[in-house]
Structure 1
Amino acid sequence: MTCNATQAFEGQADDSQLPALEAVLAGTLALMTSHAEAGSAGRRLAMRARIVSNIDLLMRDERLSPALRLSLGQLCVHWKYMGAPGSDLAPQRLDGHGERLSMH
């Protein structure tokens, strides 16, 4: 999984595609919510790949502020490496009392 941008929004100088950009953002937020609720590891992996792709697309859009684009870049890296072996972002689950249990 890489943070390579698709060229969908590149080269558009006007705001005519801003609703499409907002749709990508809304879809990404919905995917993030679904990822948190998904039980299947395979499904979570597929959703995470799409989340990374969408965040990458958003962070490369020059219509967004530099500060937001930087924040999106950091978020992209977070999602890209989430769950990687040895990562502090490795999957965890909660026990019945809200305590985190390591899954490795």
Structure 2
Amino acid sequence: MLTLLLVFVLLFLGTLPTIILWVLVAVLTPAKIEVNPIKMLLISLGLSVVVAAVYGLELEGGALSAVVYTSVASFIISFVSIPFYLLYWVIMLRREKNA
């Protein structure tokens, strides 16, 4: 039980920078662009788990180091996907405006 609690605490602390990053994107973008930080966190976390599974992640630190790896990968995936996410919204808003 204590190990499970430790995993959840590490996962929360590891994903905190990603949540902060998406909240900053939500605050700094115009109101027309909808950014849901929790949804984007879950998408990036899911993608980082998929990346870890594809590469056959075997860390020597044990199972807890996989939590750290997925947290870091989630932050990197989020950081890289922000311009693409904003570009998608710009294209959608221009289409809506032209229609």
TM, length-normalised to structure 2: 0.29
Bigger helix share: 2
Bigger strand share: 1
TM, length-normalised to structure 1: 0.29
